[in-house]
Each structure stands twice: as structure tokens, then as C-alpha cells.
């Protein structure tokens, strides 16, 4: 390979006419894949070290190439490198610069490899790093959620089904549901790391190479567990891209769900939570407004993640084996989804730190909707040996009576309750009626909230025994 004195493309000997301006515009990807420069140089250094070990290149050539690559790394890092769209991508831009630095010996760098295996190697290494960054940000969200939950162990609110008051719960217990979701997100990303942990380098364009290379050596140098098995599958495989985009989409969906709930709870109709001025915006016309714009932003950005995921599925659905230009868009989709999710996780963490519960309003809402009705039915089963279905029917009748008389369940008198319950000869006395005798509704809600969230309360009340590192071990 001759030194490119005329600043021409690598393949100019075969393709003698210069590409049209339009093709150069759509055919290059350097504006996107220049983010892979660290991984590309890392992979190239491992590759030339392997070539030397296998006696394919000399010690002198190896050292000159590595010197040139390290120089290029510094130039890009310190923004002294000039990217040229004419050379399409990060691989050719680096190779062209290497020719300028060390001369003809730069031509040895591409021995026994193709851009097909080169780009997948770079991309897998990048996704590994990105995944760790995402999980670190998920950890921060988990810790902020736990911190908010710790402040609200005894904050009573109604749990909802169909957005209707259902049963009394602790707000802290509710928040811990999202800790479970985000913990699954972490596991999902880590599972992806295991699936992609195979080294593509060395399969070349699609059928391997005639050189006596050592793929186990490059696998170890680049942090992969093993080389890939099938060269044709390797250059066409983008399952690891789909896995990453899917994990991003699910995590985004979890963020969107809680953002939607916080938007609802912050509305004047519910007023269950308060957001500080740090995370709200105003109105251009209505002076009184404080809008939860950041939460709405989080909810909207989920569509971006979904769109990128479905775009990649669509690109792959009609591709024969092995490599096609269609696959060039994979990096833009992944970079966009990654950046969007990282930004959303940071925003959400900030929202959590500036969110507080309106405990009085939560308790007031818990005192509506007869949310202790299930506990009454359970009591009738447990204390009076009737089937749950019969107890359910009796309790439903009691609820109907309470609604008709515009009372809460705790406001019904013992005589009113006997009119319904004694129809089935259930013995009801002042001493046995521990659930439905007149009492403060908040106390009822408190008792049964802690009963349903007992495991949660034990964990958080024994803070010294609670190991936050459990959320970092995944």
C-alpha cells in the first residue's frame, strides 16, 4: 500500500473516478463514528501486537505503528486532529493520518483484518463502557429513591388500581417498587455484557484470513472472554445492538411511568407531592403556574428510545448475510439512545432530590374510597369462619350502605353493621369487632399499610443493617 501523497481514498486504484458530492455526503459516517476513536486505536494496537507475536510483522514496524497510533490518540483527545469526510469513517481517518506520521509502514496495520470486523470490535468495546456508565447512573437514581422512601415509611397514602383508591399503603413502600424496576434494568444491561463478550477481531471481511493469527491473544488484550465462532455471523451480527437498545427502552419506560405518576400527583387535582422551584418552570401568560416540565420531558423522551429500537429492528429484518451498508446506522441509533437515557437518568435523579410528599393530603385521600374494605372482608373470614366470597359480598353491601348514608366505613355504627352481617348469623360484638368499630381512619390505614409493607419497613428501619452496596454488586 503506497503512501497517499495525493490525499486520495484507499480504494482509488480500483475506483478511479471520484465519488459524487451527494454520495460523499451520504456515504460518510465520520461525524457519527468519530466517537469510537479510543476503541479503534485500542483495537489497532492489540491487533499489531498480535501480528508481531505471530511473526507477521517486524518489531520495528510494530513499534512505529503503535507510536503513530498513540500520537493520533493525543491529537484527537486534545482536539488537534482534522477529520476528513472524504475518508468516510473513523477507521480510514486514523489510517490516513498514520500514513502521514510514519509513512509506508502504516500499510501493515490492516493486515489480516477488515473494517467489517474492526468496526464491530470497536462498537462492542464502546457498548461495554457505555453500559457501565448507565448502570452507575441507575445506581444514583436507586439511592435517591431509597433516600426519599426512608423519609416516607410511615406516610400513608392510597394505593391505586385503575387510578382508583384501592388499599392503604406506605408511600415509602410505593417508591421501593421503582427500586425493583431499576434493579432489573441493571441486571438486564449486565446480561447484555455477557452476551456480547465475544471478540470479533480476526474474522476479517466475512471468511477469516489466511494469516496465522491468534484471536485468543487479542481477546485477552481487549477484555473479551473468547473469540466469536462463526465469521459470517460475526460481521452481520447486531443482536448486541438490539439488546442494548431494548434495555435502554425498558429503562426509559420505567422512568416514564414514574414521571407520569409524579405529574398526576403534582397536579392540583391530587396535590400529593411537591416539587421545588429547581425542577419546575413557569408560564408565559399565567403568573401562578409552576409546571413539571422536566417530568414531561422524561415522559416524552421514551418515544425516542422506542423509535431507535424499532428502527434497528427494521434495518435488520430484510438483510441477508453478511455485511451491508444498511448497518452503518446502528451507531447513530445507539449513541442517540445512550445519550438520551444518560440525560434522563440525571434529570430524574435531580427531580427525586427536589421532591417531597404532602403527607396531610395523602392521608386525607386515604380516608376516601373505603380502602379498608378488603381488610374487613379478611377479618370476617378469619374471625367468623365464612368463605371469602361470602365475606366479599357482605362487605360490598356494607360499602353500599356507607355510600348511601354518605359515611366512611369507620363512621358506621355497630347497629348499622349488624343489619347486614347478622343476616348470615355472624356473631358480632363490641369486643370482637376490632376492624369496624368506630376509630380514626388514619389508624386503620396505618395498621394495614405496615402489615402489607412489613418487609419494607423492617429493612429501612434497621438502617445499620441495610447495605447500600447491595445495589452496586450487580
Residue with cell 488484550: 221
**For helices 454-461 and 441-452, angle between their N-to-C axes, nearest 10 degrees:** 80
**CA of 458: how far to CAs of 370, 468, 473, in Å?**
27, 15, 22
Q: Of 162, 284, 385, 431, which one is the catalytic site residue?
A: 162
DSSP-assigned states of every residue in 47-72: HHHHHHHTTSS-HHHHHHHHHHHHHH
Contact (CB, 8 A) for 235 and 120: yes
Choose among 238, 99, 132: nearest CA to 474. 132
Run of H or E residues at 383: helix 373-384
Instruction: State whether residue 435 is helix, strand or coil.
Output: coil
Burial (0-12, 13-18, 19+ Cβ within 10 Å), 102: buried
Q: Of 283, 356, 387, 432, which one is the catalytic site residue?
A: 283
Instruction: State whether residue 358 is helix, strand or coil.
Output: coil
Contact (CB, 8 A) for 23 and 9: no
Does the annotation mark 254 as catalytic? no
End-to-end CA distance of the chain: 48
Instruction: State whether residue 157 is helix, strand or coil.
Output: strand
- Contacts for 463 with CB less than 8 Å, ≥ 6 apart: 150
Does the annotation mark 387 as catalytic? no
DSSP-assigned states of every residue in 294-322: HHHHHHHHHHHHHHHHHHHHHHHHTPPSS
| Residues involved in catalysis | 162, 283
Amino acid at each position: 500500500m503506497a503512501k497517499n501523497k495525493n490525499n486520495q481514498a484507499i480504494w482509488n486504484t480500483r475506483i478511479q473516478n471520484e465519488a459524487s458530492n451527494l454520495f460523499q455526503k451520504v456515504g460518510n459516517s465520520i461525524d457519527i463514528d468519530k466517537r469510537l476513536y479510543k476503541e479503534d486505536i485500542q483495537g489497532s494496537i492489540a491487533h499489531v501486537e498480535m501480528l508481531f507475536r505471530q511473526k507477521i510483522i517486524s518489531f520495528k514496524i510494530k513499534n512505529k505503528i503503535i507510536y503513530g497510533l498513540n500520537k493520533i490518540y493525543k491529537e484527537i483527545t486534545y482536539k488537534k486532529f482534522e477529520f476528513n469526510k472524504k475518508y468516510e469513517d473513523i477507521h480510514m481517518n486514523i489510517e490516513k493520518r498514520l500514513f502521514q506520521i510514519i509513512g509506508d509502514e502504516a500499510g501493515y496495520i490492516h493486515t489480516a483484518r477488515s473494517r467489517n470486523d474492526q468496526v464491530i470490535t470497536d462498537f462492542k468495546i464502546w457498548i461495554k463502557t457505555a453500559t457501565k456508565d448507565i448502570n452507575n447512573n441507575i445506581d444514583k437514581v436507586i439511592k435517591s429513591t431509597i433516600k426519599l422512601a426512608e423519609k416516607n415509611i410511615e406516610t400513608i397514602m392510597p394505593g391505586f388500581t385503575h387510578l382508583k383508591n384501592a388499599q392503604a399503603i406506605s408511600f415509602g413502600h410505593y417508591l421501593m417498587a421503582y427500586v425493583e424496576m431499576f434493579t432489573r434494568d441493571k441486571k438486564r444491561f449486565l446480561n447484555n455484557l455477557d452476551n456480547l463478550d465475544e471478540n470479533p477481531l480476526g474474522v476479517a471481511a466475512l471468511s477469516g484470513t489466511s494469516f496465522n493469527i491468534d484471536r485468543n491473544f487479542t481477546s485477552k488484550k481487549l477484555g473479551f472472554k473468547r473469540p466469536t465462532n462463526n465469521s459470517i455471523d460475526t460481521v452481520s451480527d447486531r443482536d448486541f445492538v438490539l439488546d442494548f437498545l431494548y434495555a435502554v427502552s425498558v429503562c426509559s419506560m420505567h422512568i416514564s411511568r414514574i414521571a407520569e405518576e409524579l405529574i398526576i400527583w403534582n397536579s392540583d387535582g391530587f396535590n400529593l407531592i411537591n416539587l421545588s422551584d429547581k425542577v419546575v418552570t413557569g408560564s408565559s401568560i399565567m403568573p401562578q403556574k409552576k409546571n413539571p416540565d422536566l417530568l414531561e420531558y422524561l415522559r416524552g423522551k421514551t418515544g425516542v428510545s422506542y423509535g431507535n429500537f424499532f428502527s434497528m429492528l427494521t434495518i435488520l429484518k430484510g438483510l441477508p448475510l453478511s455485511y451491508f451498508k444498511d448497518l452503518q446506522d446502528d451507531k447513530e441509533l445507539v449513541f442517540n439512545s445512550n445519550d438520551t437515557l444518560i440525560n434522563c437518568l440525571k434529570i430524574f435523579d435531580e427531580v427525586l432530590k427536589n421532591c417531597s410528599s404532602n403527607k396531610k393530603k395523602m392521608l386525607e385521600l386515604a380516608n376516601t374510597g373505603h380502602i379498608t374494605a378488603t381488610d374487613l372482608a379478611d377479618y370476617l373470614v378469619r374471625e367468623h369462619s365464612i368463605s371469602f366470597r361470602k365475606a366479599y359480598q357482605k362487605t360490598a353491601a356494607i360499602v353500599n350502605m356507607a355510600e348511601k348514608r354518605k359515611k366512611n366505613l369507620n363512621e358506621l355504627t355497630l347497629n348499622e353493621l349488624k343489619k347486614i352481617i347478622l343476616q348470615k348469623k355472624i356473631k358480632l360484638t363490641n369486643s370482637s369487632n376490632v376492624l369496624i368499630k368506630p376509630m380514626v381512619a388514619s389508624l386503620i390505614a396505618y395498621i394495614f399499610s405496615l402489615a402489607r409493607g412489613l418487609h419494607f419497613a423492617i429493612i429501612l428501619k434497621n438502617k445499620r443493617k441495610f447495605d447500600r452496596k447491595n445495589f452496586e454488586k450487580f
